[in-house]
Chains A and B, each alone.
Chain A
Amino acid sequence: MSVLVYIESEEGKFKKAAYEVASYAKEVAGMMGTSVTAVTFNAEDISELGKYGVDKVLKVGNDKLKNFNAEAYADALKQAAEKEGAKVVVLSQSANSKYLAPLLAVQLQAGYASNVVALPESTEPFTVKRTAFTNKAFSFTKIDTDVKIVGVAKNAFGLKEVQADAAAEDFNPELSAEDFSVNVESVDKATNKVTIADAEVVVSGGRGLKGPENWGMIEEMADILGAATACSKPVSDMGWRPHSEHVGQTGKPVASNLYIAVGISGAIQHLAGINAAKTKVVINNDPEAPFFKAADYGVVGDAFEVVPKLNEKLKEFKEKNA
């Protein structure tokens, strides 16, 4: 018996979300009196994982798994779970984890709870708190199966450092041709940009910016803060910004630490998508904009005056606190 955790990596490196799910798995293992086994794919240096509570690492090294492949990764994780006799499998809620989790659930005949925001209320019965109704409510969900899969929402749990060493073990799951029946033809990914999924800070612009030519100050703020840029739905619908920047109910979800909305009125569909952000700031010239009801901090003012001034001050702050 153990708690199994799927550790994502990119080019062999772990992201913060990986340490977050490891931290979560460690706490769950503590509640159940067992240990944590991590599964990594084509990652060389696994020494950091011990710091977040991983006791043992099953290292899968396989050139065929260089690109993420949901079916093949799910198959490998299933075999790892069986080998370890895992009762709980923990994973993140990245696009890839959300892709493979239901496949893994079928293979392990496991119940799966997604968007989990806290440690289990209890492990017998196994009940977790998850978001529902697009962040307008929480659902306490009981998982009744022998093996349980828990998808931990980004930034919901945080990191917990412990001092430990993770023991590494090579693991070679048997993969079949059927595992590769969906082929990756090409991957198109900006390598030097902070993604909305990974970002700690997201700076977002709306129709109040009047046109795509005015995005310079949004990009500048994002640069200063190491943030990702995003936009409201009308902005992407009008083609001012790419669709990949659209955040909201039908766009990308935001669960960053800080969300700064400039010239976004705060339609309910927009707020539904960004509600999981921890701190929300709105800058808008209309004091009646619904966003002010959802935000923690607000500035009523003309974005074209406020943002450049704020950028200067943020720059000074960053220089002082570098």
Chain B
Amino acid sequence: MKILVCISHVPDTTSKINFTDGDTKFDTNGVQFVINPNDEFGLTRAMWFKEKQGASVDVVNVGGAETEPTLRKALAIGADSAIRVNTEAKDGFQVAKELAKVVKDGGYDLVIAGRESIDYNGGMVPGMLAGLIDANFINNCISLEIEGENAKAIREIDGGKETLTASLPLVIGGQKGLVEESDLRIPNMRGIMQARKKPLNVVEPSESGTKTEAVKFEKPAPKGAVKLIDPDNLDELIDLLHNEAKAI
């Protein structure tokens, strides 16, 4: 089984979010980048398929050279090789189109992506990719088993879960549950050394074009200070929730 894991290169959760160029660009100054958390759960699940079922695991990112440390980290965790599509990621459709080409060229059976990236939160790349390559698609996936050509997956739905079956090729929009937090792997020294020698292939984009454009960013208005209520005067809290916030 050939697995491709899509890796989004995103600012660490604790990053301060700022914009430059008249609020048109994300300010990467001093920002630490990481593997998108939803993708990391998928990558770790892919490692399981590699170790238990002999799958090969490649990782891919659509982005400039600055994303390579993130791909190297995925290699250090255990992926066999990495692909970087050498273009700036501009919108979900463009990224999905570039990924579709990688999947077709590489003949992958299973593509694992995250349900959304924590930067642009589009939540559309896995579904669009599946649509473009005519593969089956399961989103919000919290459990995945593969037996030959058949997949059994559990999807989180509002208020519960759903068990699904589908045949390969398959695209997964994954999240926590594919593996648990405690299963995530911190690359060890050996992994990091090996990762340096593993192939990281840079491929040129197919210039697929975009359908949307983020024209401007804005930060939320600063929040007012919290109103503190005396624990001996909880009537005040109820009054505020009812009359001021109109929340109860």
Contacts and interface: CB of A to CB of B under 8 A. Distances in A.
Interface of A: 68, 70-71, 94-96, 98-103, 105-107, 109-115, 127, 129, 131-145, 181-190, 193, 195-198, 201, 225, 233, 237, 243-244, 246, 249-252, 257-258, 268-269, 272, 278-279, 281-282, 292-302, 305-306, 309-310, 313-314, 317, 321
A95 B126 contact: no
A55 B210 CA distance: 33
A138 to B, nearest CB: 5
14 contacts: A95-B139, A96-B158, A107-B131, A134-B121, A136-B17, A136-B220, A182-B137, A185-B164, A187-B160, A195-B159, A198-B158, A246-B176, A299-B228, A306-B231
B88 interface: no
A86 to B, nearest CB: 16
Contact of A132 (B121, B137, B213): B121
A223 B248 CA distance: 13
B123 A114 contact: yes
Contacts of B227: 296-298
Contacts, number: 267
> SS class of chain B's interface: helix, strand, loop or mixed?
mixed
Interface in B56-90: none
Contacts of A188: 160-163
Given A233-B181, A294-B223, A313-B234, A190 B159 contact: yes
A107 B137 CA distance: 14
B182 A237 contact: yes
A131 B132 CA distance: 26
B38 to A, nearest CB: 7
B35 to A, nearest CB: 13
A298 B229 contact: yes
B165 A102 contact: no
B131 A102 contact: yes
Nearest to B212: A111
A243 B154 CA distance: 13
Nearest to B219: A137
A312 B98 CA distance: 58
Contact of B13 (A103, A145, A252, A272): A272
Interface in B130-147: 130-132, 136-140, 142
Nearest to A277: B247
Given A99-B140, A297-B240, 10 more contacts: A71-B137, A102-B127, A113-B212, A141-B213, A237-B182, A250-B175, A257-B247, A299-B237, A302-B231, A313-B235
B237 A279 contact: no
Nearest to B153: A182
A144 B209 CA distance: 11
Contact of A94 (B158, B177, B216, B240): B158
B14 interface: yes
Contacts of B175: 250
- The number of chain B residues touching the other chain, given as a range, is 35 or more
B137 A103 contact: yes
Contact of B231 (A68, A137, A300): A300
Nearest to B18: A137
B242 A317 contact: yes
Contact of A225 (B125, B139, B159, B248): B248
Contacts of A95: 139-140, 155-158
B215 A185 contact: no
Interface in B26-49: 26, 37-38, 41
Given A103-B137, A250-B37, A110 B211 contact: yes
B199 interface: no
Contacts of A305: 231
A197 B164 contact: no
B226 interface: yes
Contacts of A314: 238, 248
A246 to B, nearest CB: 8
B214 A140 contact: yes
Contacts of B235: 313
A133 B121 contact: yes
B218 interface: yes
B7 interface: no
Contacts of B91: 111
B127 A279 contact: no
B93 interface: yes
B166 to A, nearest CB: 4
A258 B247 CA distance: 6
Contacts of B214: 132, 139-142
Contacts of A135: 220
B234 A98 contact: no
Contacts of B38: 250
